[in-house]
Chains A and B, each alone.
Chain A
Amino acid sequence: MSPELQALCILLVEDSPADIRLTEEALLDSPIVDTLHVTRDGEQAMDFLRQRGAHTDAPRPDLVLLDLNLPRKDGREVLEELKGDPELRRIPIVVLTTSATEADILRSYDLHVNSYVTKPVDLDEFAHAVHSIQVFWGGVVQLPPS
Chain B
Amino acid sequence: LTPDAGGAQGTSTLLGTEARFQAVTESIGDAVIVTDARSEILFWNAGAETIFGYPESEALGSPLTMLMPERFRDPHRAGLARVLAGGETHVIGRTVRLAGLHRNGTEFPIELTLGRWSDDERTLFTGVVHDITERDASERYLAAQLAVTGALVEATSADEAVPKLLPSLASAMGWQIAVLWTVDDSGTGIRCEQFWRAEEVVAEAFERRTREAVFPFGEGFPGYVWKAGEPVCVDDFGADKRFPRAPLAAQAGLRRAIGLPLVVGGETVAVIEFLTYESGAPDAGLTAMMETLGRQLGLFFLRRRMEHSLAQARDELERSNADLEQFAYVASHDLSEPLRTVAGFVQLLGKRYEGQLDAQADEFIGYALDGVGRMRQLIDDLLLFSRTGSAELQPAPVSLEDIVERVRRSLAANLEASGGWITSSELPELVADPVQLEQLLQNLISNGLKFRGEEAPRVAVSAAREGAAWRVEVADNGIGIEPKYADRIFKMFQRLHGRDAYAGTGIGLAVCKRIVERHGGRIWVEAPESGGARFCFTLSDQEVAA
Using a CB–CB distance below 8 Å, which chain A residues touch chain B?
Answer: 16, 18-19, 22, 25, 98-99, 119, 121-124, 126
- Contact: B343 with A98, CB < 8 Å? no
**How many Å from the CB of B169 to the closest CB on chain A?**
54
Chain B interface size range: 10 to 19
Q: Which residues of B contact A22 (CB under 8 A)?
A: 341, 344-345, 348
**How many Å from the CB of A129 to the closest CB on chain B?**
12
Q: Which residues of B contact A122 (CB under 8 A)?
A: 343, 347, 376
- Contact: A123 with B344, CB < 8 Å? yes
- Contact: B337 with A126, CB < 8 Å? no
- In the complex, whether B336 has a CB less than 8 A from a CB of chain A is yes
- Contact: B344 with A18, CB < 8 Å? yes
Per DSSP, chain B at the interface is helix
Among B333, B336, B337, B347, the residue within 8 A (CB) of A123 is B347
In the assembled complex, the Cα of A22 lies from the Cα of B376 at a distance in Å of 18
- Contact: B341 with A18, CB < 8 Å? yes
**How many Å from the CB of A126 to the closest CB on chain B?**
7
Using a CB–CB distance below 8 Å, which chain B residues touch chain A?
Answer: 333, 336-337, 339-341, 343-345, 347-348, 351, 376
Pairs A-B, 10 closest by C-beta atoms: A123-B347, A18-B341, A22-B344, A123-B344, A121-B340, A121-B376, A121-B343, A98-B337, A98-B336, A123-B348
| Nearest opposing residue in chain B for A16, CB measure | B341
In the assembled complex, the Cα of A121 lies from the Cα of B128 at a distance in Å of 99
Q: Which residues of A contact B340 (CB under 8 A)?
A: 19, 98, 119, 121, 126
| Nearest opposing residue in chain B for A124, CB measure | B347
Q: Which residues of B contact A124 (CB under 8 A)?
A: 347
- Contact: A25 with B347, CB < 8 Å? no
Apart from A98-B333, A121-B376, A123-B344, 17 more pairs, CB < 8 Å: A16-B341, A18-B345, A19-B341, A22-B341, A25-B348, A98-B336, A98-B340, A121-B336, A121-B340, A122-B347, A122-B376, A123-B343, A123-B347, A123-B348, A123-B351, A126-B340, A126-B344
Q: List 19 A-B contacts (CB under 8 A).
A: A22-B345, A22-B348, A25-B348, A98-B333, A98-B336, A98-B337, A99-B333, A119-B340, A121-B376, A122-B343, A122-B347, A122-B376, A123-B343, A123-B344, A123-B347, A123-B351, A124-B347, A126-B340, A126-B344
**How many Å from the CB of A66 to the closest CB on chain B?**
17
In the assembled complex, the Cα of A22 lies from the Cα of B344 at a distance in Å of 7
In the assembled complex, the Cα of A104 lies from the Cα of B333 at a distance in Å of 14
Q: Which residue of B341, B344, B351 has the most chain A CB atoms within 10 A of its CB atom?
A: B344
